[in-house]
């Protein structure tokens, strides 16, 4: 009997040792993902020591990839341009499950309670909602307008009350899907919101949803606390009467910088960042910048805003001092700067330079380069603090 107990104890210890070897125990608060767009792979990194922990391959077309994190920040849900949705375990460095859910996907959002992941689709359009544990399909919302025509879905975000909000590009509509009964979502539709909404964002408190309009100057604003008031147009004709520049890359509204009661917003086709008063939803200033801004991202303390640019100025990053609305630093991280991501408290910023095959790391106080990681055609950088922020 004693011999059997000894063997059982030995096998238990060996089993636990094996588990520890495959999935070491550690927190995920300082982890992140770098998208390697050309190879269909991601790097898992940690920001404390600025190191790469591993690489995961087999994620398909990541040419316009984005991701969301699970509530516990262990799993990343990666949306590929080929319509693939992949659940990745960052501790075990492996793909948990991968589903091909459409022909062309451009992103998604995770629900407030963390139980559902939604994908926004270009082809064939619509929004599909999956269980985050199993990736089983829960609901399929078709983006067909009143005339019976399909639309691309853009600007999909999560909102309080277990809702998803998104826009229809061709139809010019904003829809709000309440998924408290996930298999039977209740959809509220707002029509005639403006021509060709191309991207959208939600404020950090989850109240205001704003869609940028490519077909006309202006923004469409929906107050989710007062949906009965409908969609309001703001900043109408901010470029009226001025010669527009050709648009080389559409700016991303997810990176709009909220700095107190102001928003700093990239102007479409202009070498400017617009300053918007969030109380009046009116333009109160413009800041001339180096090129056409793509991402306009606020440091967590809101003192500085970092801006990158479309081609042919995509080798440059500028830093705006919010209080003075002036450029205080211009950096050259490398060719084709695609994305920027602050560490949770903002002491570092990671900048991907696609055509240099590296990610540069800067100290945000001194603007000195403090590190560099090799990566194969890096684009998006996503840290796990996003798991606890509305709209990310």
Is the backbone peptide bond immediately before 224 cis, with ω within 30 degrees of 0? no
Cβ-contact 234, 227 below 8 angstroms: no
The three-state secondary structure class of 191 is coil
Residue with tokens 């809101």: 302
Tokens of 12: 């238990």
281 beta partners: none
109 beta partners: 118
Residue 18, H or E segment = helix 2-22
Helices (H), 113-160: none
Flag whether pLDDT at 305 surpasses 70: yes
The pLDDT score that the predictor gives to residue 241 is: 45
The pLDDT score that the predictor gives to residue 260 is: 76
Note the CATH architecture for domain 61-237: 8 Propeller (2.140)
The three-state secondary structure class of 11 is helix
Tell me the mean pLDDT in the region 331-353. Answer: 97
pLDDT band (50, 70, 90) for residue 101: very high
Among 319, 324, 326, 327, CA closest to 363: 319
For residue 266, report the phi and psi dihedrals to the nearest 5 degrees.
Answer: -70, 135
Q: Give the residue extent of every domain in the chain.
A: 61-237
The whole-angstrom separation of Cα 217 and Cα 240 is 8
The pLDDT score that the predictor gives to residue 145 is: 86
Cβ-contact 42, 59 below 8 angstroms: yes
More confident of the two residues 251 and 351: 351
Tokens of 282: 């009116």
Portion of the chain with pLDDT greater than 90, in percent: 74
The whole-angstrom separation of Cα 102 and Cα 83 is 4
The 10s digit of each residue's pLDDT in 30-71 is: 999 999 999 999 999 999 999 999 999 999 999 889 999 999
State the first-to-last Cα distance of the chain, in angstroms, to the nearest integer: 57
The whole-angstrom separation of Cα 255 and Cα 248 is 18
Query: What's the mean per-residue pLDDT of the chain?
Result: 90
Flag whether pLDDT at 20 surpasses 50: no
Among 44, 37, 77, 76, CA closest to 60: 37
The pLDDT score that the predictor gives to residue 213 is: 85
175 beta partners: 166, 189
Tell me the mean pLDDT in the region 94-100. Answer: 97
Output the DSSP codes for 219-280. EEEEETT-GGG-EEEESTTTTTTSPPPP-SSPPPGGG-EEETTEEEEEPTTSSEEEEEETTT
Portion of the chain with pLDDT greater than 70, in percent: 89
More confident of the two residues 374 and 22: 374
pLDDT band (50, 70, 90) for residue 86: very high
The 10s digit of each residue's pLDDT in 167-220 is: 999 999 999 999 999 999 999 999 999 999 988 989 989 999 999 888 787 889
């Amino acid at each position: 009997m004693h011999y059997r107990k000894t063997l059982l104890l030995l096998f238990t210890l060996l089993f636990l040792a094996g588990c520890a070897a495959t999935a070491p125990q550690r927190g995920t608060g300082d982890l992140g993902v770098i998208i390697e767009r050309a190879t269909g792979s991601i790097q898992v990194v940690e920001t404390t020591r600025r190191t790469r922990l591993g690489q995961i391959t087999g994620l398909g077309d990541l040419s316009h990839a984005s991701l969301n994190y699970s509530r516990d920040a262990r799993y990343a849900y990666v949306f590929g341009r080929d319509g693939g949705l992949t659940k990745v375990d960052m501790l075990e460095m492996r793909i948990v499950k991968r589903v091909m859910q459409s022909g062309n996907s451009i992103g998604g959002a995770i629900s407030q309670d963390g139980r559902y992941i939604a994908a926004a689709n270009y082809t064939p359009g619509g929004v599909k909602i999956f269980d985050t544990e199993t990736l089983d399909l829960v609901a399929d919302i078709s983006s067909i307008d009143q005339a019976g025509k399909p639309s691309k879905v853009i600007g999909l975000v999560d909102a309080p009350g277990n809702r998803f909000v998104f826009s229809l590009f061709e139809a010019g509509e904003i829809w709000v899907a309440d998924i408290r009964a996930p298999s039977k979502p209740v959809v509220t539709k707002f029509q005639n919101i403006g021509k060709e909404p191309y991207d959208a964002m939600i404020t950090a408190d989850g109240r205001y949803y704003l869609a940028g309009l490519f077909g006309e100057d202006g923004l469409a604003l929906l107050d989710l606390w007062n949906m009965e008031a409908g969609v309001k147009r703001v900043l109408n004709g901010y470029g009226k009467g001025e010669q527009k520049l050709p648009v080389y890359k559409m700016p991303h509204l997810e990176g709009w910088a909220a700095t107190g009661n102001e928003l700093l917003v990239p102007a479409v086709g202009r070498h400017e960042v617009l300053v918007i008063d969030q109380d009046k939803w009116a333009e109160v200033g413009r800041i001339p910048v180096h090129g056409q801004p793509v991402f306009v991202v606020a440091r967590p303390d809101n003192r500085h805003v970092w801006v990158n640019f479309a081609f042919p100025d995509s080798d440059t990053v500028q830093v705006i001092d919010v209080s003075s609305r002036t450029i205080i630093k211009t950096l050259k991280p490398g060719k084709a700067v695609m994305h920027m991501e602050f560490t949770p408290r903002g002491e570092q910023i990671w900048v991907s330079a696609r055509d240099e095959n590296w990610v540069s790391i800067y100290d945000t106080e001194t603007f000195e380069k403090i590190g560099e990681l090799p990566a194969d055609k890096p684009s998006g950088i996503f840290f796990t603090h996003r798991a606890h922020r509305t709209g990310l």
